[in-house]
Amino acid sequence: MVNYKEIKRKLLKKIEMLSRSELSKFKVLTMSDFILDHILFIDDFDYFLREVKRIYKQGGGDLPAIRQTIQRGGCSANTASGLSALGIDTYFIGRTNLFGKKLLEFFLGEKNVNIKNLKTDGNLSLMTIFEIGKEKINVMVGDPDSLSPLGYKDITSSDRKLLHSCNLVGISGWAMNRSGTDLAKGVFNFAKKVNTLTYLDTADPSFRLEEIKDLYEYVISNKNLDILSINENELNYYSSFISTKDSNLNILEKGVLLKKNISAKIDIHTSLYSASLDGDEVYIMPAFKVNIKRTTGAGDMFNSGNILGYLLKLEPLERLQFANAMAGCFISSNIPLPPNIKDIYNFINNTPFKPLKGEIVG
């Protein structure tokens, strides 16, 4: 039986000993999506649908009393913000336009994320997000064509020089980048030549089903990928490429099946727990019990904490607990800002775990 409280005690002690100089020695590059998110908070989904239908039938009109906000979006940009908040020397490469650059200077520049290698010959990508009900289930309405593709052909010698100097390169938001497979394949191939860790979070691939096969063949199952970070939905798609007679596998069983067929470590994040699969080992860490204020960005914050855990060489369960805390602290905060190390320490110290169900641990 795993003693999660003892792991918490050890992790807190390690966090106490971290210094700013120790954290800032790490250098991480994230690619490639930045999106301007417009979020609508829908408390009563049925009421919302009735009112939209009513207004539509009457030929148009206003629907008041819907809380809304605009914030930084895009898996890579969010992850960069989280890493920088933790004190890591963080760089972001993406493609947007000059207005997008101004927005990034506001959203990331004030967080000390370096965007000197940003491409500004593209478009500003927009996303409308509905966060629905008490569970804050998010429905994202995006326009993938508005996000200018970034492929490996767009990576310059200056970009490669930066990549060479980094401890880790993370590519997130493959689903929104039409050249994402080409970018990941090329960047990870170069990264392994210069001994840089590689990290992938694809985001929801469901609207690019015809391209998942190439992503799996050239990136996910390629030995150049060190770490694959996914949620249960993404795992369902990638594990489907492996032949099995049993279609009733649970999430962890699908993870084990996928791990047997790829060399990368697999980190799975869900609302109840996170898990890490390394070789034949499976590590499970319960999520923290929090009052959820938002869900958009939770996976990106998990990745920020998870990446730092790898850089610090934390034990797998400590790393997962730290990553869970990063996500939990963010989604329960009144203000949607990435937590810093002090925030994480206080959160871990004062927040209980969610109970693990028997079918997860059994």
DSSP H or E segment with residue 110: none
Average pLDDT estimate for 274-288 = 96
Encode pLDDT of 38-48 as tens digits. 999 999 999 99
83-102 pLDDT, tens digit per residue, is 999 999 999 999 999 999 99
At 147 the pLDDT is: 74
Q: Is the CB of residue 70 less than 8 Å from the CB of residue 38?
A: yes
Mean pLDDT, the chain, integer = 92
Q: What is the pLDDT of residue 145?
A: 67
Candidate from 57-66, 138-147, 181-190, 240-249 with smallest mean pLDDT: 240-249
In sequence order, what DSSP letters do the residues of 314-360 get, joined into one string? --HHHHHHHHHHHHHHHHHSSS-----HHHHHHHHHH-PBPPPPHHH
105-109, 139-143, 284-288: range with highest mean pLDDT: 284-288
Kindly tell me if the per-residue pLDDT of 55 is higher than 70: yes
DSSP conformation class of 287? P
Q: What is the arithmetic mean of pLDDT over 23-43?
A: 93
> Which pLDDT score, from 0 to 100, does residue 336 have?
82
Q: What local confidence, expressed as pLDDT, does residue 135 receive? A: 81
Query: What pLDDT is attached to residue 42?
Result: 93
- For domain 4-36+75-125+144-361, the CATH architecture is 3-Layer(aba) Sandwich (3.40)
pLDDT band at 362, cuts 50/70/90?
very low
Give yes or no for residue 304 having a pLDDT over 80. yes
246, pLDDT greater than 80: no
pLDDT of residue 244: 64
For tokens 């084990």, what's the residue? 256
Distance (Å, rounded) from C-alpha 357 to C-alpha 151? 42
Whether residue 158 contacts residue 68, with contact meaning beta carbons closer than 8 Å, is answered with: no
pLDDT of residue 361: 45
Beta bridge partners of 227: 199, 265
- Tens digits of residue pLDDT in 332-360: 998 888 999 999 999 999 999 998 875 45
Helix (H) or strand (E) segment spanning residue 145: none
Domain regions of the chain by residue span? 4-36+75-125+144-361
CB atoms within 10 A of CB 171: 29
Whether residue 318 contacts residue 297, with contact meaning beta carbons closer than 8 Å, is answered with no
The tokens describing 263, both together, are 């060399």
Question: 252 vs 49, 164, 255, 275, 361, CA distance in Å?
Answer: 36, 35, 5, 8, 9
Write out pLDDT tens, residues 132-179: 998 888 898 877 667 789 999 999 999 999 999 999 999 999 988 999
Query: What is the structure's pLDDT at 360?
Result: 56
